[in-house]
Amino acid sequence: MYTDQELKWMLEEAYGQFARPDFIDNDPIKIPKRFSSKEDIEIAGFLTATIAWGQRISIIKSANRLMALMDEAPHDFIVNHEAKDRKRFKGFVHRTFNADDAMFFMASLQHIYTKKQGLESAFSSPEATSNFERLSRFHELFFSIEHLDRSKKHVSNPVKGSSAKRLNMFLRWMVRSSKEGIDFGIWKSISASELMIPLDVHTGNVARKLGLLTRKQDDWKAVNELTQRLTNFDANDPVRYDLALFGMGVNGAPLPSL
């Protein structure tokens, strides 16, 4: 098995290979990258992260359609649309996320932006002292208005053991500053040191091959285990290695040679 020194070297090598602007070209993060205002970026990012499962080309296509349905002005649409305007989402579908889900998401986001000061405030409750609490409190807030039970599966809740991959990815986008120009770093109320790894099949498989993760299930316990392990290599920004692990996994790249 690899030593920590060897693992640090491999992670840094992979980070240097994948944490580059051309990573954006084929990644769903390209959707919020189209916008410049904080509110447009976070709304586009949240909706894109919500449907980020399946092939990336399909995710990007569906997210582009969501942006078009909001007239390419996410924040303006969320704040100013009327209930009747949500009917334009009829017919939208991305895997199991359908038109009913999309219409509810528009309503809940409107509630958050008009009553709760927006997404950053919704995620950064002063009562929450960990990402586990942030995500569970956000889940409670998001579904505090009238909703269909089916929509609950589209916002993960770590209380139920979920790895919350898409929400952790969204938080990485918003919180983590990257000199390489990938993540946004537009939320200052949460520290990068508090973020949790967005664990999916790619990051999990590579992490297990490297000996960074022993738990077999991709659940919240695995998220905790892997994130804690990565703090050994960068306590201030452990989630930076998501780009390394995901890049090695999704691109099928061999592990760097020592």
- Model confidence pLDDT, tens digit, residues 167-193: 999 999 999 997 888 999 999 999 999
Q: Is the pLDDT reported for residue 212 higher than 90?
A: yes
Compute how many other C-beta atoms are within 10 angstroms of the C-beta atom of residue 239: 24
Nearest to 190 by CA among 122, 110, 113: 122
Sign of CA dihedral 204, 57, 100, 49: positive
pLDDT at site 128: 86
- Model confidence pLDDT, tens digit, residues 191-201: 999 999 999 99
| Residue at token pair 């990565």 | 230
- Model confidence pLDDT, tens digit, residues 28-51: 999 999 999 999 999 999 999 999
